[in-house]
Amino acid sequence: MGRKWNNIKEKKASKDANTSRIYAKFGREIYVAAKQGEPDPESNQALKVVLERAKTYSVPKTIIDRAIEKAKGGSEESYDELRYEGFGPNGSMVIVDALTNNVNRTASEVRAAFSKNGGNMGVSGSVAYMFDATAVIGIEGKSEDEVLEILMEADIDVRDILEEDEAVIVYAEPEQFHAVQEAFKNAGITEFTVAELTMLAQNDITLPEEAKAQFEKLVDVLEDLEDVGQVYHNVDLGE
């Protein structure tokens, strides 16, 4: 499972390379989450998840506050949450999550990204069954044993705990996301290297170099789309 975290890091690094784009996408996610419930993370769990992710990407407070205030102001702007599934080079699998105010535009752009980069769209359910919804939370400054002790004291039994690249990564059920974070916070840990609700492939595959290059181009094109928020896949991108 360790290579999963490497994939998350790579994805995060690529997004960090274009901060204006990632900030705009987070602004949209925060607005939608705040609009769907109370604009208060303490009573709106979906908003709380987005805000925790935003912290790990260093999204400025001004952008967060602006999105929440927009939701409070009764904006009529509305978005649909969409999930696309497809296949990349050599049978690789891809899931794309999007927020859009124009479903036809987004579907067309996602379909074009697949078809122009060695892939093709699949029907709903053609890929997702090979992935597991997972909470991934990472911290630094503690050992694997220390993290295990913190979680045991909080009576939390997670899927896995691994030391990876100077961080300890906790893989948990999605519904344990907040409980794990609260356990860490109660132990004095407030900074997280990763805090994601993600889709992890049950089995990763390794692609030959040519197919890997084409696959990375596919992921880059998908992540560059304005409406796309998350791209999940089953390819081990390595170091």
pLDDT of res. 4: 57
CA–chain centroid gap for 129, Å, is: 18
Domain range list for the chain: 2-72, 80-129+204-233, 131-201
Q: Is 131-201 assigned to CATH 3.40.50.300?
A: no
**Mean local confidence (pLDDT), 195-204:** 93
Q: Which fold has domain 80-129+204-233?
A: Alpha-Beta Plaits (3.30.70)
**Mean local confidence (pLDDT), 192-203:** 92
Please state which CATH number belongs to domain 2-72.
1.10.10.200
* Percent over 90 (pLDDT), the chain: 73
Whole-number Å distance between alpha carbons of 73 and 134: 33
Q: What is the DSSP string of 22-47?
A: HHHHHHHHHHHHHHHS-S-TTT-HHH
**Mean local confidence (pLDDT), 59-71:** 92
Task: Give tens-digit pLDDT for 88-126.
Answer: 999 999 999 999 999 999 999 999 999 999 999 999 999
* Percent over 70 (pLDDT), the chain: 92
DSSP H stretches of helix in 173-208: 177-186
Q: Are 117 and 214 within 8 A, CB to CB?
A: yes
pLDDT of res. 130: 97
Instruction: Read off the DSSP letter of residue 101.
Output: S
Q: Are 162 and 1 within 8 A, CB to CB?
A: yes
Equal CATH topology for 2-72 and 80-129+204-233: no
pTM: 0.87
Bridge partners of residue 198, in order along the sequence: 134
